[in-house]
C-alpha cells in the first residue's frame, strides 16, 4: 500500500514539474518570439503572406507571385498559399501570374508591418474555356466554329441543382418542362423542339436509351457531372440520328487533386421533405498518372398534393446512385485509359393511397427502375500529329411499372432495354488541317410488356455510321469545319447522308462570327414517350407508330455573333444568334382507336414544319463582386398544315418567348447572394377529356419564377472548408392554377414550373 502511495506521489510530482517546466518553456518561447519580432521591427524586416484564389473562392496552385521591386518570386502551394519572408520596409506592389487567368497587379502599398492576409483573386480569361462536344477533340472555345454553351460545375452549384434537369436551367434556348402530373416525366427542349429531338450523351456516348430517357433528367445526380456542353442544331455528323435539335453532352469528372466532399441538402415543398445526400472522393497519385473518382448519391422526396384533392402533383422519389471513374496515363506510350461504371436505382410513384399496393389506389403511376452502365475509353498518340480514340459503352436497363386507375389489377408492366455503343476516331493533324475519320455502331433492344393494355414491344434497332470531318484553320481570322456522315438505321431501308458545315471568323480580338449549316434525321422507332402511359380520364393513352411511318429529316441554319471585352478585372460578354430549322415528314399524333381502358394515338407523318427565332445573351462581371447575366429567346414553331386533333399549326407546349436573368453578389466577409428570374411565355397545351367533358386546346398563362439563395463559405486554416447555404425556389409561388382534380384527371395537362414555392438549406464539407 505504501509503495502505491509513494508511486502516486511521484507521478503527481512529475506531472507538476513537467507542467511548470512547460509553462516556463512557453513563457521563454513567447519572450523569444517577442524578441524576434522586436528585432525584425527594429531592423525593418517584415513578412507578406496570403492566398491566390479564383472568383469563386477556389485556391489556385502553382501561381507565380512576384515582388518586382526586389526581383523576388514564389509559387503557391497546393492550398494556394504564398509567403515572402524578411522583406525590408518600403513601398511595393505584387504581381500574380497563373495559366488561364488575367495577370494581376496590386496597387502600391507601404510595408510597415507584417501582412498576413494579402489575398489575391484572379479572373479567368474569356478564351480559356475548353470544349470537346462540337468537334470531338479538345479545343479552346474561341477556336471552335460551332457555338457551344458550357455549364460549369461552379454554375451548377450556384443554382443549388441536385440533378441534370435542374443543372440545365438558365441556358439560352433551353427549357426543362414537366409533362406528367403523376410521375413527373420531364423533357428538355432546345429551341422549342421536343425532347426526342435532342440527343443526350455521357462523355460523347449516346448512353441514354429509349427507356431511361423517360426519367433520366431527374435521375442523373450532379455528383456525376463535371460540366455540361450544349450544341444547338443538327449534330448528326458526329453523333448520328436524334440530334435534330441539338446535343447535350455530360462531361464526367476527372479529378485533379485528392479531395473529399460531403453534401447535405433538404427542401421543403408545401411542408413535405425532399432530402439529397451526396458523397464524392477523389485520389490522384503524386505523378498525376493514376486518378480515381467515386461518388454516391441518395434522394428521397415525399409526395406533394398542391390542390388538396388527395392526389399528388409531385410524386414520391427514392433514388440511390453511385459511380466509379478510373483514369490511367501511360506516359511512355503517350496513351490514356478510362473506365467508368455507374448504377442508378429508383422507386418513383404518383397518385394517391401511397401506403397501399399500386392496384389498390384510385390512381397510380409506379416505376421501379434499375440501370447499370459501363464505359471504357482508350486515347493514344502515335506521333505528334496522329492520334486515335476507341470507346465502348453498355447499359443494362430494366424496370417494373404500373400505369392504372380505379384499382385496375391488370395495369402492371415490365421493360428491358439493353444498349450497346461502340465508336472510334482517328485524328491526323497536317499543317492547318485536322482530319477526323470515325465510326459508331449502336444496338438498342427494347422488350416492353403492358399486357393489360395489349401492348407488347420486342424490337431491336441497329444504327451505324461513318464520318469524315475536316477542321481547317484557314488563317488567324477564319476557320472552316466541314464533315459528312453516312448513316444506316435498321428501321430505314436506305442510306442517309448528313453533311455539316461551320464557319468561324475572328473579326477582332473581341468579336467572333459563327455560322453553321447542318442536317439530321429521326428514325421511325419507339421513343421515350411511347414507354410512358399517360393517364387521362381513368384511361391510359398509348402511342403506336404507323406501319408506313417515314423518317423525319431536318435542315438547320444558325448564325450569330459573340463579343467579349475585358477591362482590368471587369468582363463583358454579349451573344446574338438566329436559328432556322426545316423539318420534312414531321411526326404528329392522331387518335385511331378506343380500347376498354385506353385511347390509342398513332404517330403519322405530317406535311412538314419549321422552327425559327432569335436568342440574345449578355453577361457582366464587375471586379469580383457583382455578376449580371440574362438570356432571351423569341421564336415560332409552325406546322405547314394544321394537326388533325385540334386543327392547330403551333407546336404544343412551345412558348413564343422565354428567358432568364440572374444577379449575383460576392462578399467573402458576409455572404454570397444569388437572385434569378425564369420567364416562360404563353403556349398552346392540349387538354384531354376526363375531368373536363371534351378535349380542348388551352392557351397557358405566362410564368415568372423568382429564386433567391444565400451562401457562406467558411475556410479553415488547414484548407478544409464548410459551405453553408439556404434559399427559396419560386419565391413568388408562380404555379399552374388550373390543374385537373381527382382520379379522372388528364395527368398530361401540366405546363407550369416544376416546383411551387420551395424552401431549402444545406451544408457542404470539403477536405
**Which residues of 115-161 form beta strands (DSSP E)?**
120-122, 130-131, 139-140, 149-152
Strand 511-522 to 496-506 pairing:
antiparallel
Mean pLDDT split into 10-residue runs, the chain, 767 residues:
44 42 45 46 77 81 88 87 91 87 82 89 64 60 75 88 92 89 88 83 84 86 90 69 80 88 95 95 91 96 93 95 95 93 96 95 95 95 92 95 92 94 94 92 91 87 92 91 91 88 90 90 77 78 86 89 82 90 88 84 88 93 86 94 90 94 89 95 94 94 96 81 94 92 91 92 93
Q: Is 242 exposed, middle or buried (0-12, 13-18, 19+ CB in 10 A)?
A: buried
Strand 290-301 to 316-330 pairing:
antiparallel
Question: 127-766: CATH homologous superfamily?
Answer: TonB-dependent receptor, beta-barrel domain (2.40.170.20)
DSSP character string of 421-457: EEEEEEEEEETTEEEEEEEEEEEEEEEEEEGGGTEEE
* Residue 103: per-residue pLDDT: 78
Contact partners, residue 190, CB within 8 Å, separation at least 6 = 173, 174, 197, 198, 230, 232, 245, 246, 248
Q: Residue with C-alpha cell 475509353?
A: 377
Dist. CA 640–CA 729, nearest whole Å = 39
Residue spans per domain, the chain: 36-122, 127-766
* Residue 129: per-residue pLDDT: 57
**In the CATH hierarchy, which fold is given to the domain comprising 36-122?**
Immunoglobulin-like (2.60.40)
**Which residues of 169-306 form beta strands (DSSP E)?**
174-178, 186-190, 198-202, 227-232, 246-251, 259-269, 272-284, 290-301
Dist. CA 542–CA 559, nearest whole Å = 39
Q: What end-to-end distance do the CA atoms of the chain give, in Å? A: 52
Amino acid at each position: 500500500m505504501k509503495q502505491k502511495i509513494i508511486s502516486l506521489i511521484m507521478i503527481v510530482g512529475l506531472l507538476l514539474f513537467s507542467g511548470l517546466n512547460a509553462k516556463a518553456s512557453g513563457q521563454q518561447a513567447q519572450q523569444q518570439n517577442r524578441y524576434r519580432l522586436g528585432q525584425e521591427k527594429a531592423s525593418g524586416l517584415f513578412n507578406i503572406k496570403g492566398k491566390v484564389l479564383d472568383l469563386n473562392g477556389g485556391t489556385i496552385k502553382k501561381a507565380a507571385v512576384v515582388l518586382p521591386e526586389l526581383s523576388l518570386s514564389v509559387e503557391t502551394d497546393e492550398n494556394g498559399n504564398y509567403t515572402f519572408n524578411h522583406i525590408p520596409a518600403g513601398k511595393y506592389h505584387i504581381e500574380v501570374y497563373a495559366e488561364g487567368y488575367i495577370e494581376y497587379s496590386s496597387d502600391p502599398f507601404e510595408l510597415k508591418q507584417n501582412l498576413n492576409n494579402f489575398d489575391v483573386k484572379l479572373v479567368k480569361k474569356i478564351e480559356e474555356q475548353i470544349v470537346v462536344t462540337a468537334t470531338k477533340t479538345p479545343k479552346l472555345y474561341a477556336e471552335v466554329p460551332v457555338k457551344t454553351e458550357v455549364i460549369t460545375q461552379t454554375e451548377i452549384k450556384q443554382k443549388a441543382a441536385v440533378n441534370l434537369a435542374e443543372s440545365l436551367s438558365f441556358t439560352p434556348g433551353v427549357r426543362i418542362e414537366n409533362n406528367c402530373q403523376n410521375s413527373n416525366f420531364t423533357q428538355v427542349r432546345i429551341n422549342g423542339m421536343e425532347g426526342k429531338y435532342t440527343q443526350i450523351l455521357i462523355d460523347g456516348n449516346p448512353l441514354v436509351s429509349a427507356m431511361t430517357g423517360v426519367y433520366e433528367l431527374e435521375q442523373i445526380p450532379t455528383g456525376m457531372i463535371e460540366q455540361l456542353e450544349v450544341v444547338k442544331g443538327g449534330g448528326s455528323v458526329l453523333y448520328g440520328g436524334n440530334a435534330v435539335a441539338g446535343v447535350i453532352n455530360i462531361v464526367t469528372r476527372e479529378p485533379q487533386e485528392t479531395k473529399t466532399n460531403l453534401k447535405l441538402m433538404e427542401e421543403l415543398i408545401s411542408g413535405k421533405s425532399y432530402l439529397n445526400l451526396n458523397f464524392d472522393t477523389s485520389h490522384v497519385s503524386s505523378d498525376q498518372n493514376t486518378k480515381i473518382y467515386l461518388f454516391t448519391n441518395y434522394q428521397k422526396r415525399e409526395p406533394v398534393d398542391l390542390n388538396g384533392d388527395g392526389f399528388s402533383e409531385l410524386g414520391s422519389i427514392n433514388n440511390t446512385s453511385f459511380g466509379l471513374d478510373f483514369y490511367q496515363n501511360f506516359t511512355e506510350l503517350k496513351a490514356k485509359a478510362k473506365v467508368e461504371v455507374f448504377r442508378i436505382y429508383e422507386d418513383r410513384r404518383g397518385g394517391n393511397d401511397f401506403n397501399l399496393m399500386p392496384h389498390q389506389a384510385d390512381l397510380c403511376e409506379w416505376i421501379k427502375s434499375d440501370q447499370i452502365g459501363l464505359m471504357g475509353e482508350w486515347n493514344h498518340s502515335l506521333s505528334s500529329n496522329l492520334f486515335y480514340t476507341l470507346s465502348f459503352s453498355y447499359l443494362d436497363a430494366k424496370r417494373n411499372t404500373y400505369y392504372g386507375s380505379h384499382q385496375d389489377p391488370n395495369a402492371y408492366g415490365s421493360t428491358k432495354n439493353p444498349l450497346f455503343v461502340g465508336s472510334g476516331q482517328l485524328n491526323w493533324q497536317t499543317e492547318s488541317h485536322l482530319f477526323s475519320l470515325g465510326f459508331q455502331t449502336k444496338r438498342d433492344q427494347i422488350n416492353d410488356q403492358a399486357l393489360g393494355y395489349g401492348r407488347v414491344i420486342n424490337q431491336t434497332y441497329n444504327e451505324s455510321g461513318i464520318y469524315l470531318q475536316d477542321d481547317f484553320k484557314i488563317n488567324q481570322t477564319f476557320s472552316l469545319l466541314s464533315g459528312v456522315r453516312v448513316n444506316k438505321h435498321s428501321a430505314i431501308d436506305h442510306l442517309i447522308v448528313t453533311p455539316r458545315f461551320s464557319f468561324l471568323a475572328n473579326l477582332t480580338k473581341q468579336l467572333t462570327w459563327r455560322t453553321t449549316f447542318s442536317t439530321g434525321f429521326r428514325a421511325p422507332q419507339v421513343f421515350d414517350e411511347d414507354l410512358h402511359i399517360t393517364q387521362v380520364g381513368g384511361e391510359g393513352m398509348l402511342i403506336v407508330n404507323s406501319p408506313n411511318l417515314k423518317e423525319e429529316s431536318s435542315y438547320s441554319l444558325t448564325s450569330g455573333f459573340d463579343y467579349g471585352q475585358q477591362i482590368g478585372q471587369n468582363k463583358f460578354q454579349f451573344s446574338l444568334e438566329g436559328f432556322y430549322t426545316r423539318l420534312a415528314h414531321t411526326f404528329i399524333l392522331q387518335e385511331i382507336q378506343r380500347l376498354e381502358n385506353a385511347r390509342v394515338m398513332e404517330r403519322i407523318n405530317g406535311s412538314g414544319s419549321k422552327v425559327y427565332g432569335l436568342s440574345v445573351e449578355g453577361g457582366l462581371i464587375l471586379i469580383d463582386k457583382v455578376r449580371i447575366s440574362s438570356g432571351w429567346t423569341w421564336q415560332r414553331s409552325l406546322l405547314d398544315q394544321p394537326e388533325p386533333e385540334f386543327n392547330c399549326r403551333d407546336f404544343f407546349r412551345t412558348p413564343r418567348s422565354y428567358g432568364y436573368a440572374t444577379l449575383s453578389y460576392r462578399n467573402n466577409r458576409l455572404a454570397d447572394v444569388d437572385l434569378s428570374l425564369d420567364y416562360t411565355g404563353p403556349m398552346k397545351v392540349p387538354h384531354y377529356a376526363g375531368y373536363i367533358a371534351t378535349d380542348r386546346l388551352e392557351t397557358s398563362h405566362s410564368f415568372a419564377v423568382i429564386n433567391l439563395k444565400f451562401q457562406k463559405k467558411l475556410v479553415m486554416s488547414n484548407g478544409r472548408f464548410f459551405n453553408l447555404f439556404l434559399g427559396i425556389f419560386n419565391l413568388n409561388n408562380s404555379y399552374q392554377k388550373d390543374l385537373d382534380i381527382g382520379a379522372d384527371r388528364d395527368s398530361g395537362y401540366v405546363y407550369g414550373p416544376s416546383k411551387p414555392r420551395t424552401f431549402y438549406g444545406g451544408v457542404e464539407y470539403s477536405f
